[in-house]
Each structure stands twice: as C-alpha cells, then as structure tokens.
Amino acid sequence: MKLDPGTIAIIQLAWSRRLGLADDALAGTADGSRIYNVRDQSRVSFVRLFGREVFSGPGWAADRVRGRSADELTRSTALASLSVEYGGRTVGSERLCFADSFPGPVEPADEVAVAEEQEFAVKLERRCPPDDVAEAGLAEKEQLFIAVDDSGEDPVALAGAGYSIRDGILADISTLTAPVARRRGLGRYITSVAVEEAMAAGLIPQFRTPLDNLGAARTAAGAGFVAVGVRSEVQLSA
C-alpha cells in the first residue's frame, strides 16, 4: 500500500511547519542530507519522514549527533545518553503512520454501538491500565468514537478512537481498547471509523505508535495506515 504523491506533499508541509522549518524543507525525495534545526529549546528530537531527516535541538546537541546514523538516533535512549549532563529524559520513540484511502469493510466480532460523548471515553479509560491511558490520551481528543456494548441496562465502553486536528491538516488519531475486549477486532474497527470521519472532514489521518507496541502497529495497519517515518524525543531539564 502506498500513499498518493499529493498526500505525501501535504504531510511534508504539515511536518515542516510543526518542526519550525520552511514550508518546502521536507519536500521532494531524500538526498541523503540531514537538516539541523539548531535552536535553544527544552527538547531534543529526531524525525525521519519519507527518507528525509531532521534533528532539532541546541547547538551542543547538534554537534554530538553529527555522524550518528538514523537507526541510532531513532532510539530515544541514544539521545538521552548524549544529554545526560543536561538532564536528558526519554519521552519516547514512535512510528509515524498515515492513511489516504478509506479502509475496507472492517466489522468487529461483536455487535456494538458507536457513541461520541466524552463520558464514554472517560469510562473506557477507567477500565484500562494507566500507561495505556496516558499513551492514547483519548478523552482529550476533539472528536471521539467509542464502541459501546449497549445490550444491558448500563452501556459498557469497550474500545475507542479519537482525533485532534494538527496544523489544520492532520487528524492525529489514537486508539484505546479495554483489556477484556482485546483480540476481538474492536480496536481496528473503531480506528477505521475515526479514519473515515477524518477523511470525510477533509483531513489526512495520522497515527503515531510507540516502536515497541506491536499491537498498536497491527491496529494501524488493519485500519489502512502506512508507516512512513519515525520520531524520537528527549526532554531536557538543565
């Protein structure tokens, strides 16, 4: 599965702006060079998108990463080790995934209703491990889609997806599934609902998955996302 060239150009524009670069900084094909976005800031980050590389951070950090490979800088632990005396703390490493076509028919194993009220997202978060809740940040999303079992007197939230608009172009989607409802296709189903709604609103769906979260990667692929980049980030405290 490939993304349309027009979609790629829009994604490159959005990420150029997000990184504080010129609109055309990430345009075109990779030429093997790396962009060093040197500025005083409290974070150090490395982004590789469609083969283009961008390192952002203070001058001392840029000096230390010159000559380091993209594979090494993709690991946020490597960035943290280079900034120990500046209080470097790992934020995380993630895949950057995008979609530009409606997903094929995706039906869950169980019949569910779809709710959009935030109260169901909050109820779902209460049923999930804190780390999963923090990673998804579901209840804070601007648009919500929650798969609900409404067969009983009290509806039960099983899985949810939502998105917030970034840079006026991208729909940043995340998904959360209750542990007892996993492996039933609910995460993939509700993610596909969010993808369809985002595209209907004229947005490009974006899904960010931690590098070590294979379940999230499978959910993204099942909903039609294509992994085209990575980002790693470290927070500085000194």
Q: Indicate if 157 and 69 belong to the same structural domain.
A: no
Q: Are 144 and 125 in contact (CB under 8 A)?
A: no
79 part of a folded domain: yes
Q: Indicate if 131 and 159 belong to the same structural domain.
A: yes
81 part of a folded domain: yes
Q: Which domain holds residue 17?
A: 5-96
Strand pairing partners for 53? 34, 48
84 part of a folded domain: yes
Q: Indicate if 129 and 177 belong to the same structural domain.
A: yes
- Return d(Cα 73, Cα 80) in angstroms, integer: 10
Beta-carbon contacts of residue 32 (< 8 Å; ≥ 6 apart): none
Q: Is the pLDDT of residue 32 over 80?
A: no
Q: How confident is the model over 95-148, as pLDDT tens digits? A: 999 999 887 767 776 788 999 999 999 999 999 999 999 999 999 999 999 999
Q: Which pLDDT does position 81 carry in this prediction? A: 85
41 part of a folded domain: yes
Which domain-ending residue is among 96, 131, 153? 96
- Domain CATH for 139: 3.40.630.30
Q: Indicate if 80 and 118 belong to the same structural domain.
A: no
146 part of a folded domain: yes
**Number of domains composing the chain:** 2
Q: Indicate if 89 and 125 belong to the same structural domain.
A: no
Angle at 206 between CA 187 and CA 62, to 5 degrees: 125
Q: How confident is the model over 37-94, as pLDDT tens digits? A: 998 888 889 999 999 999 999 998 999 999 889 988 888 788 888 888 877 788 889 9
Q: Which pLDDT does position 238 carry in this prediction? A: 60
230 part of a folded domain: no
Q: Indicate if 117 and 91 belong to the same structural domain.
A: no
Q: Indicate if 80 and 124 belong to the same structural domain.
A: no
Q: Indicate if 56 and 125 belong to the same structural domain.
A: no
101 part of a folded domain: no
155 part of a folded domain: yes
Q: Indicate if 79 and 122 belong to the same structural domain.
A: no
